[in-house]
A and B are shown apart, each in its own frame.
Chain A
Amino acid sequence: DAGVIQSPRHEVTEMGQEVTLRCKPISGHNSLFWYRQTMMRGLELLIYFNNNVPIDDSGMPEDRFSAKMPNASFSTLKIQPSEPRDSAVYFCASSHPLAGYEQFFGPGTRLTVL
Chain B
Amino acid sequence: EDQVTQSPEALRLQEGESSSLNCSYTVSGLRGLFWYRQDPGKGPEFLFTLYSAGEEKEKERLKATLTKKESFLHITAPKPEDSATYLCAFTGGGNKLTFGTGTQLKVEL
Contact = CB atoms under 8 A, between A and B. Distances in A.
Interface of A: 4, 31, 33, 42-45, 48, 50, 55-56, 91, 93, 95, 100-108
Interface of B: 31-32, 34, 36, 41-46, 49, 51, 87, 91, 94-102
13 contacts: A31-B95, A42-B99, A45-B97, A48-B96, A56-B96, A101-B32, A101-B91, A102-B34, A103-B95, A105-B44, A106-B43, A107-B43, A108-B43
Contacts, number: 53
7 nearest A-B residue pairs (beta carbon):
A105-B43, A43-B99, A42-B101, A105-B44, A101-B91, A31-B95, A101-B32
Nearest to A104: B46
A22 to B, nearest CB: 15
B96 A102 contact: no
A103 B97 contact: yes
A110 B49 CA distance: 28
Contacts of B97: 33, 45, 101, 103
Contact of B43 (A42, A55, A91, A100): A91
Contacts of A50: 95
Contacts of A105: 36, 43-45
A38 to B, nearest CB: 11
